[in-house]
Amino acid sequence: MTETLTGTGRSAGISYDELFDNDTHPVSEVLRRVGEHTPGNTRVPARVYYAQDVHDLEVERLWSRVWHLDGLPRPERIDDGKE
């Protein structure tokens, strides 16, 4: 992600390491690890937004685990006279 005001990979504030160095409590080394990804913009192929196979995988692996709607009453349809 690119910070939009400066066009750089981070804001003008202090870094995480500076924040951790000034913390009043010890900070775990896990929080200081640098990720393996390359900073910057991520290009997502357009097909991800409309492909049936991607949708099916999301339903199977994502939405079925995060949306727990079983047992909730369905909202009633409001009859506003329009069809």
In a domain, 39, yes or no: yes
In a domain, 52, yes or no: yes
Q: What's the pLDDT at 79?
A: 63
Cβ distance 75 to 69 under 8 Å?
no
In a domain, 28, yes or no: yes
**pLDDT of 11 over the 70 cut:** no
In a domain, 71, yes or no: no
Cβ distance 20 to 27 under 8 Å?
yes
Amino acid at 42: T
Q: What's the pLDDT at 52?
A: 94
The per-residue pLDDT for range 22-63, each reduced to its tens digit, is 999 999 999 888 777 776 677 889 999 999 999 999 888 887
Name the domain count of the chain.
1
In a domain, 7, yes or no: no
60: containing domain: 16-66
- Angle value at C-alpha 68, between 63 and 71, nearest 5 degrees: 135
Q: What's the pLDDT at 14?
A: 83
Mean pLDDT value of segment 78-82:
62
Cβ distance 46 to 52 under 8 Å?
no
Helix (H) or strand (E) holding 58: helix 52-58
In a domain, 41, yes or no: yes
